Structure 1
Amino acid sequence: MFKKKGFRILVTFILIFTLIYLIFKTRFIFEPFTAYLGAIAVPIIGAGVIFYITNPVVNWLEKKKVPRIIGTFIAFLLIVLSITLAVLFIAPIVQKQFTNFVESVPGMVDNAEQLIEIWQDNQNIIPPQFESTIQNLVDKLSTYAEDITAGIIGVIGQIFSFIFAFILIPFFLFFMLKDGYKFVPFISQFLSPKKASSFRKLSTSINHTLASFIQGQFIVSVCVGVMLYIGYIIIGLDYSLSLALFAVLMNFIPFLGPFLSAIPAVIVGLFQEPLIGLWAAVVMFIAQQIESNFISPNVMGRALSLHPLTVITLILAAGGIAGFLGLLFIIPAYAVIKTIISHFYHEWKSKQTEEDPDLI
């Protein structure tokens, strides 16, 4: 009985769930570690994202016989130059557009109230329940507008609360660029030759997965933002730069990002002029088609190999559990976990005898 594979698999699952239960019951032991990880999560994640964007530059310079330390400083100079240009030329426009948008919110609410009142006046027969619902909506529009404005201000406050954590990002990034390649050899020296080889393969696979996602999404998002900005300018949409930058950020969310970024653009266009709202939807549709059919296949290819249904399921679950941050990080996290499981499965598979090759 103990030699049967099904029984061994059942025992393995029981032991795994027992271990999870024990960890849950003794989770207070891990609270100092979770607090420590929470404190350094922002600089590590932020530096890691910038690392995968700038590391190709450092590697290219190193191939051109430029010392890695000098290549790291050149990468930092490029980052500083990009930030400086953004502050000088982009930030003032975005700030002005955002201020104008906040000031125009009460006017948008008044227009919405007038539209609802006009619609009510032109209806001959309205069920009492539906009429009361519409009236409640009209009465609460001003409250909703205040809540939306307060929510925007709250988000800005949260952003500023992370500034202190962001200060540490350059320090983490510097050592990642300078010494990141030493990590795998450092760990490998403590392992046996066979395990060291397996660890190097796993590290290479994880590095490829993260680089494919981050670099690919960065290039794709910038391309989509530029296309939308040009399109918004052509149709005369207000707040075009701010809406295009919002689309760049949203496009880091696979599949749902383009649709989420279209909502504010269409709403702003409808309040500006109904035809412009329609054109904003057309511009977003064209940009999304170009991105999905030409840009993404050539930039990202099939590096992550994720089915669209899997992506949708993960995004819905992550959004409900962790909010916006969950939407941003669930796909790369899932891809890394998938890479790790696949690696160990193939390692396990290679050790099986030819007479007993299957898992179940």
Structure 2
Amino acid sequence: MTSKLWFQAGIGTILALIIIRLFIEVQAIFDPLFIIAQTIFVPLLLGGVLFYLTRPILYFLERKKFPKWSAILIIILLIILVFWLLYRMIGPIVTDQVNALVENGPEIIENTEGYIQYLLDQRDRLPTSVEEQLNGVTEQFGARAAGIGTWVLSFLTSFISGLFTLVLVPFFLIYLLIDHRKFVPFISGFFSGARNRWIRKTMHDIDQTLQAYIQGQLFVSFLVGIMLLIGYLIIDLDYALLLALIGMATNVIPFLGPYIAVVPAVIIALVQEPIMAVYVLIVMLVAQQIESNFITPNVMGNALDVHPLTVITLILAAGNIAGLWGIILAIPVYAVIKAIAKNIYARRQEIGHTVVKDVE
């Protein structure tokens, strides 16, 4: 019985739960480690994203016989050049649109409150159950609005802290570019024979999964931002570039990104001209259909092969557990776990076939 997969999985689950329980009981001992992990999490994540974006350039330069130090220096200079060009090209436009949005903020808020009040005035025409739910939402909104000052202060504090943290990003990127080839040999060096080969293959599959997701998702988000910008310019929407950048940024959130991006665009459209909200929805729908049916399948292919229902479930669960970061990281983490599980299954199948052959 001990050789059965279900028995081993059950014992492993029980041991994992015991370890988690013990970890919770002595959590205070690990508080310094949590603080360190929280400090380096964002710069390490951003450094990892830049690493996967720039590693092909490193390999290209190395094939051209560039020394590693000069190749890395060229990559750093290219990153600085790209950010500088972006700043020169869109920085002034975005700044002007942000300033205009701030100046028109009171009017936008007033108009938005007018639309909300109009909807609230229609409560008497709604069924009692719907009216009760609407009253509950209104009370929650009011309670959160009352604490907006605290939220803004917390956001500004986090933003300033984040700026200092971002200084670490180039250091993580440089060390990843220098030493990334040493990681797999270091991990696999603890094993030998078939296990060593299995570790190497599993790490390679994880690496390819992360590369496909990061490069593909960012490229898709860029194309979505371009499509939104073109659409917003066609319908002459105010703050078109700023709203397109918001759509580009939120598109990194699977499934929920487009719905988040359409909210500020619809609010701006309603203030500008009510019919513009319909045009915004049409632009978003067209861009989303092109992205989901043509761009994503051709850019990312079957690299992740995650069912849409699985995506929704993962996002909702991860959002409740870890908030925004959980939503952003749910799919790549799931893809990595899936790659590990597939390699474990393949390894067990290989062992099973070997045992059968030995018996024969």
TM-score range, shorter chain: 0.7 to 0.9
Q: Which residue does 1:238 correspond to in 2?
A: 238
Q: Which amino acid aligns with 2:71?
A: G
Over the aligned positions, Cα root-mean-square deviation in angstroms equals 3.5
Q: Is the 8 A contact 1:318 1:330 kept in 2?
A: yes
Shift of 1:88: 2.6
TM-score, with structure 2 as normaliser: 0.85
Q: Which residue does 1:207 correspond to in 2?
A: 207
3-state DSSP class of the match of 1:167?
Answer: helix
Q: Which residue does 2:334 correspond to in 1?
A: 334
Shift of 1:72: 1.5
What do residues 237-288 of structure 1 show as CA deviations (whole Å, max 9, x unaligned)?
1111111111111110112211211121112111110121111111111111
Shift of 1:289: 1.1
What do residues 62-108 of structure 1 show as CA deviations (whole Å, max 9, x unaligned)?
22333332221111111101111222332332233223223323212
- For structure 1, the residue ranges without an aligned partner over 5 or more in a row are none
**In 2: Cα distance, 1:203 partner to 1:27 partner:** 30
Q: Which residue does 2:82 correspond to in 1?
A: 82
Once the two structures are aligned, what percentage of the paired residues are identical? 42
Where do residues 283-302 of structure 1 align in structure 2 (5 Å cutoff)?
283-302=283-302
Q: Does residue 98 in structure 1 map to residue 98 in structure 2? A: yes
Q: Is the 8 A contact 2:252 2:328 kept in 1?
A: yes
Shift of 1:129: 12
Q: Which amino acid aligns with 2:166?
A: F
**In 2: Cα distance, 1:129 partner to 1:202 partner:** 53
Q: Judging changes above 3 Å, is the alpha-carbon distance between structure 1 residues 315 and 124 closer, same or farther for their aligned structure 2 residues?
A: closer
- For structure 2, the residue ranges without an aligned partner over 5 or more in a row are none
Where do residues 106-145 of structure 1 align in structure 2 (5 Å cutoff)?
106-114=106-114
Q: Which amino acid aligns with 2:269?
A: G
**In 1: Cα distance, 2:153 partner to 2:97 partner:** 15
TM-score, with structure 1 as normaliser: 0.85
Q: Judging changes above 3 Å, is the alpha-carbon distance between structure 1 residues 244 and 150 closer, same or farther for their aligned structure 2 residues?
A: farther
What do residues 147-202 of structure 1 show as CA deviations (whole Å, max 9, x unaligned)?
66875675344222111111011011012112212222233334313322111101
Q: Does residue 319 in structure 1 map to residue 310 in structure 2? A: no
The alignment covers a number of residue pairs equal to 357
Q: Judging changes above 3 Å, is the alpha-carbon distance between structure 1 residues 193 and 89 closer, same or farther for their aligned structure 2 residues?
A: same
**In 2: Cα distance, 1:18 partner to 1:77 partner:** 49
Q: Using the TM superposition, name which of 304-313 and 82-91 deviates more.
A: 82-91
Q: Judging changes above 3 Å, is the alpha-carbon distance between structure 1 residues 154 and 281 closer, same or farther for their aligned structure 2 residues?
A: farther
Q: Using the TM superposition, name which of 200-209 and 2-11 deviates more.
A: 2-11
Shift of 1:315: 0.8
Q: Judging changes above 3 Å, is the alpha-carbon distance between structure 1 residues 207 and 8 closer, same or farther for their aligned structure 2 residues?
A: closer
Q: Which residue does 2:170 correspond to in 1?
A: 170
**In 1: Cα distance, 2:7 partner to 2:134 partner:** 62
What do residues 94-134 of structure 1 show as CA deviations (whole Å, max 9, x unaligned)?
23322322332321233345557778999998999999999
Q: Which amino acid aligns with 1:15?
A: L
